[in-house]
Structures are given as structure tokens and as C-alpha cells.
Amino acid sequence: MPSMLNDLEALVTCESPSGDHRAIAHSADVVSAIARRLTGEVPERVVLNGCTHLALRFGPCPRILLLGHHDTVWPLGSLATHPWSATGGIARGPGCFDMKAGIVQLLHAIAALADPSGISVLITGDEEVGSTTSRALIEDEARTCQVVLVLEPSADGGALKIGRKGAATYQVQVRGRAAHAGLEPEHGANAAIELARQVFTIIDLAAPSLGTTVTPTLLSGGTTANTVPDSAQLSVDVRALLAQEQLRVDRALAQLRPHLAGTALLLDRQSHRPPMEPAASARLFDRAQTLAGELGLPPLSGVTVGGASDGNLTAAVGTETLDGLGAVGGGAHADDEYVVISEIPQRTALLARLIEDLRRDRPSAEYKEQNNS
């Protein structure tokens, strides 16, 4: 436990916001040093568009992909207001729960194995911003493996994540025509009014009974208080349990048309992760439940969550995926982010035991066959 806490402190106190490539590179140095100490191997640095990802393979033919990320949503300087601490059985600090404790558990689980052959590791640097550079890397590696274990943090109460909504973000941009708001507003084409009308069309695309949410989020527009705005922008967050629902909303957004003369609409799909449906994790979750009992751990539960992860990507290429194997705690992305310290070695033991079990097991091809069909 002291070694694990020291490693977690080293990771948390090395701030790594997704948008700062220099900070991400420094964080990769810290992760690499821990990996080398624990496993004897140095991860390969994969730099894509300036963002540093880490890859590590044990043996020539990996069967199991261990997946995580070392970037966080916290900007540089967050340690000043959210300092690292480990007292009263609770660890705190920016990114401790999502998901630096998961990285610690991943690396210590490998170190606990007598033979780590057959394992591939990817620790990416841009998960929190949609895996814009690492997506192809993740998908290609997942296709070569038979199962993926994702070290994202657990859900409430330590539940594993057996399903995830698909997530997509869009920007709706309206172009209008500027004019003086007092002298001749009728000569303008008001982009803000057009965007306001579009908002009501957009929110009507939600289907709560099917688990589909369509949420306008960031909105901006205009230049000065006395000018008819010639541009306005809206970000839209779409979440869906079902792939067909995600496609329905995507097509509907692409068919938006302006109401006001002189305005035009542009749609940019900025990120997209398909749903991770429970079929992707069913067999793996059953195995984890059995192994937790054998280890004397409390019974595991599984839930479907609204947040997406890189597990969505690996499930979509047809590889069995179990998510939420990382830290137990809460407050992801929030001021009260924390990790339950006593759960760290227990989760590490479960991961190591699951790896050992899956290496002996012959994975079922049923999910991949269903997905490919």
C-alpha cells in the first residue's frame, strides 16, 4: 500500500490537462518511470499531433488489452486549490479518481503476475477531449486482442460499468448579417434569433423513454451590444443507449435548415463514440463476479452509465470490453474528487486475478460475431 500511494501521489502531483501537450509529455515521463520500476519494461511513446500516448506489450501476441488515460480535466494550477492528500482512508487531488488511481492499479496488477505475457497496455493522453488523436490507435489495438479491460473509475458504490451511452458533440453555427441595432436592424439577419429557434428543434430530438438525451450546452454569439449579430454558435451534447438512436439524432441534426432569410447553418460533429451495449461485457462481468467471490471481496454490481469512455470504441470494433475496473471513490471532474484508499489493493488483486483467468480461458466469439453481423 505505501508503494501504491507513493505512485498515486507522483501521478496526481504531475498535473496533466488534456489541452497542454507539454504537461501531458511530462506526465508520460512519470507514468513511464513507474512502469519501468514495476515491470522492468519501458513503454513506447506514441506522439500523435503533439499528444503523448504510451504503449506497452508483453510478448508477441497479446490477448488482453489494459486501457486507460493519463490526461485529466483539471487545468494547470489546480493543485493550489485541490492539493494532494491521503488522510482518514481517503486520497484527494486533481484526477485521482479519474483516472490516475486506475493507472496505479493497472501497473501494480501487472507487477503481481508471475508472467505478464499476452498483455498489451495503452495509456492515452486525450481521452477527456474525445480521444481525437488516439482513437485509431485504440481501435487498431483492440482488434488484435480478444478482450479489453478498462481502468476507468467505478460507478457509485464500486459498481463496474457494463454499459455506456454513446456520446457525440456537435457545434451548430449560424451565419447572419450584421447591422446597426438602432439605426437599421431590419437590414441585418440576426444569427442569435435564428439560433434561438433552432434550440427548440434540437431539444425536441431527445427521446427520454429510450435513454436518448440531446442537451444544448455552450452558447455564444454577437460582437457588440448595439450590433445585430452576424454569427452565433451552440454546442450540443447527445447521449444514446442505442446505436440506432444515435444515428437518428445525427441525421436529424444534419437536416436542420434556417428559418430567417439571410441566415445559414453549418453543423460540425466534433466527437463521436458509439454506445457500449451490455452484450459487450456480459461474459467478462460474470467472470469478474465469480473471481471477486473467490478472493473474498464484496459482491460486484454492474450498471449502465451516461458517460462515455474509450471502452465505447473497443466494444464497437467487436472486442469484449469490461469497464469501470479502476478506483472506487467519487466526484469525477468535481471539487470533491476522491479515492477510497482501502479499495486500491482489492481492485488491483481483482484485476490481476481476472487477467490470469482470462489468459487460461478461451474467449467466446459470440459477441464479436454478433457485432460484425
Query: Could you tell me the CA-to-CA distances from 146 to 63, 195, 354 in Å, in that order?
Result: 5, 46, 14
Distance spanning both ends of the chain, measured CA to CA: 46
Average pLDDT of every residue of the chain: 95
Mind listing the pLDDT tens digit for each residue in 181-221?
Answer: 999 999 999 999 999 999 999 999 999 999 999 999 999 99
**Alpha carbon distance 134, 117 (integer Å):** 24
Instruction: In whole angstroms, give the CA distance from residue 147 to residue 144.
Output: 9
**In the chain, pLDDT over 90 holds for what percent of residues?**
94
pLDDT in tens, 32-47: 999 999 999 999 999 9
Least Cα distance to 347 among 277, 291, 283, 282 occurs for 291
Give which of 233, 271, 268 is closest to 253, Cα–Cα.
Answer: 268
Residue 177: all three cell numbers together: 448579417
Task: Kindly list the catalytic residues.
Answer: 71, 127
Q: Is the pLDDT of residue 166 over 70?
A: yes
Q: Give CA–CA dist 72/102, Å, rounded.
A: 13
Over residues 226-243, the mean pLDDT reads: 97
Over residues 127-151, the pLDDT tens digits come to 999 999 999 999 999 999 999 999 9
In sequence order, what are the beta bridge partners of 51?
Answer: 48
**pTM here?**
0.89
Give me the mean pLDDT over the 291-318 stretch.
96
Question: Looking at residue 43, what is its pLDDT?
Answer: 98
The pLDDT of residue 9 is: 98
Domain annotation for the chain: domains and CATH numbers: 2-164+275-372 (3.40.630.10), 166-273 (3.30.70.360)
Assign 3-state DSSP to the chain and report helix, strand, coil percentages, each to 5.
40, 30, 35
pLDDT in tens, 21-34: 999 999 999 999 99
Over the stretch 167-182, which tens digit does the pLDDT of each residue have? Answer: 999 999 999 999 999 9
Q: Can you state the angle between helices 343-360 and 101-112, rounded to 10 degrees?
A: 50
